[in-house]
Amino acid sequence: MPEPIIEIKNLSVYFYTYAGVVKAIENVSFDIYRGETLALVGETGCGKSVTSRAITKLIESPGRIVSGQVIYHRDDGSTVDLLKLSEEEIRKIRGNEIAYIFQDPHSSLDPLYTVGYQIGEAMEVHGKVKNIKEGIAKAVDILREVLIPDPERRVKNYPHELSGGMKQRVVIGIGIANNPRLLIADEPTTALDVTVQAQILELLNELKRKYNATVLLITHNLGVVAETAQRVVVMYAGKIAEIGTVDQIFHNPLHPYTAALLRAVPNPLGKIEKLESIPGTVPNLITPPKGCRFHPRCPLAEEICRRKEPELKEVEPGHFVACHRY
Amino acid sequence: MAEEKVGEYEPREEYEMSILDRLSDRLIDGLASFITLFKKDWKRRNQSRIKEWKLMAYALNRSPPALLGLVIVIIYIFVGIFGPYLAPWPYDFFPVNYNYSTQLAPPGSTYFLNVTELQNGYIVHYMTYIHYPLGSDTYGRDVLSILLEGARTALVLDIFIILIGPTIGIILGLISGYYGGKVDEVIMRVTDMFLAFPGLILAIALSAVLPGRIQNFLNAHVWAQTLVLKLFALHPRDVNNLGKLLSVFVALVIVWWPGYARVTRGSTLTEKENLYVEAARAIGLPTRTILFRHILPNIIGPILVMITMDFGGIILTEAGLSFLGLGAVPPIPDWGNLINQGSQQFPQAWWLVAFPGIVIVTVVLGWNLLGDGLRDILDPRTRRSLEFKLKKKGKGGESNA
Amino acid sequence: MAGLGKFLVRRALTFVPTLIGVTLIVFIIAYVIPANPVRAWAGGEKASQAAIEMIKKEYHLDQPWYDQYIFLVKGLFTNSLLDPLNQEPVFTNIGNRFVVTFQLALFAFFFVVLIGLPLGIISALKRNKATDMVLRIVALVFISTPIYVIAYLFIWLFFIHWNMTTLAGIPPGPPHQITHIPIIDDVLTLNWSNFVEQVRRFWLPGFTLGIAAAGVLMRFTRNSFLEAYSRDSTLFLKAKGVPKSRLYRHVLKNALVPVITILALQFGGLLSGTPITETVFNLPGIGRYALQSIMYLDFPALIGVTFLYAIVFVTANLVADILYAVIDPRVRF
């Protein structure tokens, strides 16, 4: 039985905007196991990023975490609900035990500081180095680790002097600077050139192996999932549709949405067939559909789907689905 | 819209509607119906736009400073229209002719007047008394009346300068940004020249040299004379003061366009890169349509904010010119001119500075508060980041889970 | 820094049309006026025909318009153009008055920065709280209050009531002059008694002149700070676990990039925005010179003043560009 490092329970985040309450995620529950790579997939706006940020309370106004728990299992066996921690306590965990890599390296870095400073700063604020000078010195090693050539010179560069792929390597370097237990990579390759994407993914995989870290990979690219992850969480319109191993999801998708999603892209684990698009559009999360949120687009929708919200059920070991058909 | 279908979707979690929300809903619905009178089916085809307007109005209703600004602006416009009829004394009645001690009478004082007037060709004598709640000016005129009547002067100048100056600027900016190249270069160099010229100095120079020409024009065109007199609610015998008054108008129009040309050009440059402009060009829409029907509506937000705040800026500059003795001169009622009179008798006649000063500051502040509120609401980015406090209406929400 | 030199030359070339244009505008205004300035220059209604003819000849007014224009501009550059009212070269007049205006602008700038920057930052830090709302309204009140109203309020308070300033005359500069700006020379020569005298005369006009600009700066600083705060890089800093104080240091540095360039433009604006302040506080500066030249239809003086204003405008823009390049590593010449 794998042991969890994070247990997310009934997490809901709402955005109180002028246009109404946007229920970005509702009652989201899943576990992240120690040492695995868990992929969080779904269409744009389905709540993937919000979920990952809510883990360490990185939700800004007008958003608010309205309910739920994020149980974090420390290495010494103790557990703590991250959502109950004070601002200072959670700060000590962010970037230290749980680190992030954001989507767009062009906007993640502060343009006015050198990359060496920004990596050194990540270590300094968690007391890993005595001062920023020592941090910048150590940043050279980290730049070497993320395979940036000529790190002694690069450490003095400003972000705008680096290419997109290089910048993302720096961002990854900041992420791994403190040797985190959990690394949350939020679409780390989306903003990059196709040729660079593979390199970055490979780097991530390698670092994960080296440090034995747990990775939560957020992506909408199923090819990436098949290559890097062991388990998959599929989200639709702020809710969880299906959870399973890569094998279960790709070979035996239970939720009609997962099935549709797999038919919409070349199946990385199957033979290439005709691609189909999913009819309809992503629902408006101010007035989401009643019952199952996928029912307006679902080819198999029945009367009950319109009325009752399906609960997440374990259909086979480790394979959960929220659909009335099971 | 599909989401209104009953039963299929969860109800919207509503914010509690205030009276203002209902009022703004009514107003926007009314406006939509009004437009529909002229454009068939407008209301039906623009439902989502109407909905967005209503939501924006809710955001405005939750900003007390913006509401305060709106109230001040509404009062200003009301007084600007009806002020000349509300004023107890006409602006061209000079009590100092009948009782010399009414000159610079302090607030709260009352004087008797022994009036000798020419009415319909007859000489009329009568006794009356005049009460000065806010004091009197050098001509013994009631300051309260001049303030009420001066609102008309300010409002008419305000509206017409805004109608013409920014329009010129916006058109030039659109052309400059859209065509680029030589056209852009020429327009922007000219704009720079005007920007390099301190606005106040240019306005002063123009209002000093223009009155003669404008007066000649008005004297040659009786219809224009009548129109201007009506607009400013002036007596026909003041026709010879119009040249000075209108020179301020012309001066401020000339000063007020360059800023708009700059801003509009900048937004047009980024906006024209969008695909929809390319598409509009590809299907052969005339440039005029692309500029005014497609680009302008998308960049109008910041321009509207600028216009709102400039309503206040024009009042400041216009009153500044009359403070320097240019533009509106007595007997034309004008706020800045009262301060000019007061400055020569300061601090004895403090009320001539204080009361017009308070009025000017209040009105300008009103426009600025409103503009500031609009900035938050018209910019989609800040609008989305406004946080609303949730108040559930009745029991609503997710009872069906 | 060869790049900088090239950049300066390139920028300076774009100023030429602006400068020519500004003088041309004044010239056109002067050319189209119906009133006859020559009679006014010669001494009003009583002026003799001979005197008028002489002045016409002296200022090339009997020549075609382009000749008049060239005469004016050439006169400006060689400082041979005389102000018809006091027979001094125009630029000599301007130079004497510019010292006063520059010192006034310095005082105003001091108050602008002192009030605008900290209050703007506080307003942003307390975003959407009561403090923020109050400060936003205060900034708008500053912007909405005309100089000619607030000046009298201040005169009544600080001069009539508390006698904290003087309003007559101008204290002479210190005996030893380096920059010819008295307050700067005082600091350089450590002449504190003259320093106090200068401050006593200039602080109130400076405060009055600066108050609107302080309101503008407050708003600009607040918005710039919030803009920097809402960037992805700020969220990433949070995700890094950076403490609040350090987070704000990053945000502040980013926010100050546009603020500092705006400060350069604001100083230019203060220099050219003095006419009403100088009139009310009785200071013999450029602004009042410009007003007088308009009132007396003294166009040689007006063309000189506007030329100076145009130079101030382009210089302020240039300084803003340079500052931008110095503090932002992304911008290179």
Query: Cβ contact (<8 Å) for B65 and C137?
Result: yes
Mutate to test the interface with A, among C231, C236, C242, C324 (most CBs of A within 10 A): C236
Are B383 and B59 in contact by the 8 Å Cβ rule? The answer is yes
Q: With pLDDT > 90 as the criterion, what percentage of chain A qualifies?
A: 59
- With contact defined as beta carbons under 8 Å apart, do B357 and B315 qualify? no
List the single residue in B9, B387, B389 with the smallest CB-CB distance to A287: B9
CB nearest B365 (choices: C29, C144, C273): C144
User: Nearest residue on chain A to C328, judged by CA atoms?
Assistant: A112
Chain C residues close to B201, C-beta within 8 Å = 272, 275, 290, 294, 305-306, 309
Residue A89 pLDDT > 60 = yes
Residues 310-329 on C with a CB inside 8 Å of A are 328-329
Residue C118 has pLDDT above 60, yes or no: yes
Residue-level pLDDT at C66: 81
CA distances from residue C201 to A237, B31, C264 in whole angstroms, order as listed: 68, 57, 25
Q: Taking CB atoms and an 8 Å cutoff, what residues of chain C touch A94?
A: 238-241
Test mutation, B1, B4, B5, B12, chain A, max A CBs within 10 A: B12
pLDDT at B1: 35
Pairing of the two strands A239-245 and A319-321: antiparallel
How far apart (Å, rounded) are the C-alpha atoms in residues B250 and B243? 10
Which residues, in sequence order, are bridge partners of residue B111?
A: B130
Q: What is the pLDDT of residue B10?
A: 67
d(CA C249, CA A215): 31
pLDDT by residue (tens digit) across B325-336?
888 888 899 999
The pLDDT tens digits for C269-278 are 999 989 999 9
Residues of A with CB under 8 A from a CB of B: 16-21, 61-62, 284, 286-290, 296, 306-307, 309
Identify the H or E element spanning C308: helix C299-327
Here the tokens at position C198 are: 């200068």
DSSP assignment of A207-219: HHHHHT-EEEEEE
What pLDDT, on a 0 to 100 scale, did the predictor assign at position B394? 41
In the predicted model, what is the mean pLDDT of residues A62-91? 92
C183, containing H or E segment: helix C182-189
pLDDT tens readout for residues A135-147 = 999 999 999 989 8
| B346 contacts C155? CB cut-off 8 A | yes
Provide, as residue numbers in chain B, all residues whose Cβ is less than 8 Å from the Cβ of C141.
361, 365
Residue type present at position B86: L
**A174 to chain B, closest Cα gap in Å:** 28
pLDDT averaged per 10 residues, chain B (length 401)? 48 73 89 86 83 87 91 96 92 88 91 84 87 92 94 95 95 94 91 86 86 87 89 87 89 92 93 89 90 90 93 94 87 92 88 95 97 88 75 40 28
Q: Do B200 and C276 touch (CB under 8 A)?
A: yes
For residue A30, is pLDDT > 80?
yes
Enumerate residues 274 to 333 of chain B having a beta carbon within 8 A of any beta carbon in chain C.
Answer: 312, 316, 319-320, 323-324
Assess contact for A21 and A14: CB atoms under 8 A.
yes
Q: What is the CA radius of gyration of chain B?
A: 26
Q: Mark yes or no for CB contact A100/C239 under 8 Å.
A: yes
d(CA C327, CA C319): 12
Q: Which residues contact C319 (CB under 8 A, 6 or more apart)?
A: C264
Q: Each residue of B156-168: pLDDT tens digit?
A: 999 999 999 999 9
Q: Check pLDDT > 80 for residue C42.
A: no
**Cis-peptide into B347, omega within 30 deg:** yes
Distances (CA, A) of C279 to A240, B204, B205, C276: 72, 14, 16, 5
Q: What is the mean pLDDT of residues C53-79?
A: 81
Interface test with C, best of A56, A61, A88, A125 (most C CBs within 10 A): A125
Measured between beta carbons, the chain B residues lying within 8 angstroms of C145 are 361, 364
Whether residue A44 has pLDDT greater than 70: yes
| Residue A234 clears pLDDT 50, i.e. is over it | yes
Q: From C127, which residue of chain A is nearest by alpha-carbon distance?
A: A61
Q: pLDDT per residue over A201-227, tens digit each?
A: 888 888 888 888 899 999 988 888 888
Q: Is A272 near chain C, with CB under 8 Å?
A: no
**A95–C241: do the CB atoms touch at under 8 Å?**
yes
Mind telling me how many Å the CA of C315 is from chain A's nearest CA?
26
Residue located via tokens 């006091």 = C86
Residue A27 tokens, joined: 């009652």
8 Å CB contact of B320 and C146: yes
Taken in order C119, C123, C126, C130, is the CA torsion positive or negative? positive
Say how far apart CA A159 and CA B103 lie, in whole Å: 71
Strand partners, A39: A217, A232
What is the separation of C-alpha B155 from the centre of its chain, rounded to a whole number of angstroms? 6
Q: How far apart are CA B87 and CA B94, in angstroms?
A: 15
Instruction: Report the neighbours of C using a cutoff of 3 or more CB pairs below 8 angstroms.
Output: A, B
CA distance C300 to chain B (A): 13
Query: Is the Cβ of A128 closer than 8 Å to some Cβ of chain C?
Result: no
Please tell me the distance in Å from C140's CA to the nearest CA on chain B. Answer: 6
Q: What is the mean pLDDT of chain C?
A: 87
B–C CB contacts, 8 A cutoff, strictly below: 133
Is residue B72 less than 8 Å (CB to CB) from chain C?
no
B371 min Cα distance to partner chain C (Å) = 10
Burial B241-258 (b: 16+ CB within 10 A, else e): bbbbbbbbbbbbbbbbbb
Tokens of C281: 């506080």
Inter-chain CB proximity C21 and B205 less than 8 Å: no
Average of per-residue pLDDT values in chain A = 90
Residue A175 has pLDDT above 60, yes or no: yes
Substitution target in A12, A18, A284, A292 with the highest count of B β-carbons within 10 Å is: A18
Interchain CB distance below 8 Å, A112 and C257: yes
What is the percent of chain A where pLDDT is above 70?
Answer: 98
User: CA-to-CA distance for B2 and B5, rounded, in angstroms?
Assistant: 6
Interchain contact, A290 vs B383, CB within 8 Å: no
Residues 81-120 of B with CB under 8 A from C: none
Q: What is the pLDDT of residue A271?
A: 63
Q: How far apart are CA C40 and CA A174, in angstroms?
A: 75
Choose among A102, A122, A125: nearest Cβ to C243: A125
Report the candidate in A36, A49, A40, A51 with the shortest Cα–Cα distance to residue A205: A36
Find out whether B137 and B146 touch, Cβ atoms under 8 Å.
Answer: yes
- pTM for the full model? 0.89
Whether residue C2 has pLDDT greater than 60: no
Mean pLDDT over A245-269 rounds to 86
A3: tokens are 């042991």
At C203 the pLDDT is 93
CB contact under 8 A, C152 and B316: no
Q: Is A109 on the interface with C (CB under 8 A)?
A: yes
- Which tens digits make up the pLDDT trace of C161-196? 888 888 888 888 888 888 888 888 888 888 888 899
Nearest to A170 by CA among A126, A130, A200, A195: A200
Report the residue of chain C nearest B314, measured CA to CA.
C144
User: Are residues B197 and C310, on separate chains, in Cβ contact within 8 Å?
Assistant: yes
Instruction: Residue C30: list chain B partners with CB under 8 A.
Output: 209
Which residues touch C130 (CB under 8 Å, ≥6 apart)? none
Is the per-residue pLDDT at C37 higher than 80? no
Handedness of CA B71, B72, B76, B79 (dihedral sign): positive
Burial class (CB in 10 A: 0-12, 13-18, 19+), A274: exposed
Cβ of B347 within 8 Å of Cβ of C152? The answer is yes
Interface mutation target, options B1, B5, B6, B13, chain A, most CBs of A under 10 Å: B13
Token pair in block for residue B214: 């404008």
Helix (H) or strand (E) holding B260: helix B258-271
pLDDT band per the 50, 70, 90 thresholds, residue A1: low
Across the interface, which of B8, B387, B389 has its CB nearest the CB of A289?
B8
Cβ of C314 and B196 within 8 Å? Answer: yes
Which of C:197-236 have CB within 8 Å of A? 231-233, 235-236
Distance CA C309, CA A47 (A): 56
What subunits make at least 3 CB pairs under 8 angstroms with A?
B, C
The C-alpha atoms of residue A312 and residue A316 are separated, in whole angstroms, by 12
Is the Cβ–Cβ distance between C302 and C30 less than 8 Å? yes
Of A62, A284, A288, nearest to B386 by CB-CB distance is A62
List CB contacts of C321: < 8 A, sequence separation 6 or more: C11, C261
* Residue-level pLDDT at B391: 54
Rg (CA), chain C: 24
Given a cut of 80, is residue C257 above it in pLDDT? yes
pLDDT at C39 over 80: no
List residues bridging with A63 in a β-sheet.
A15
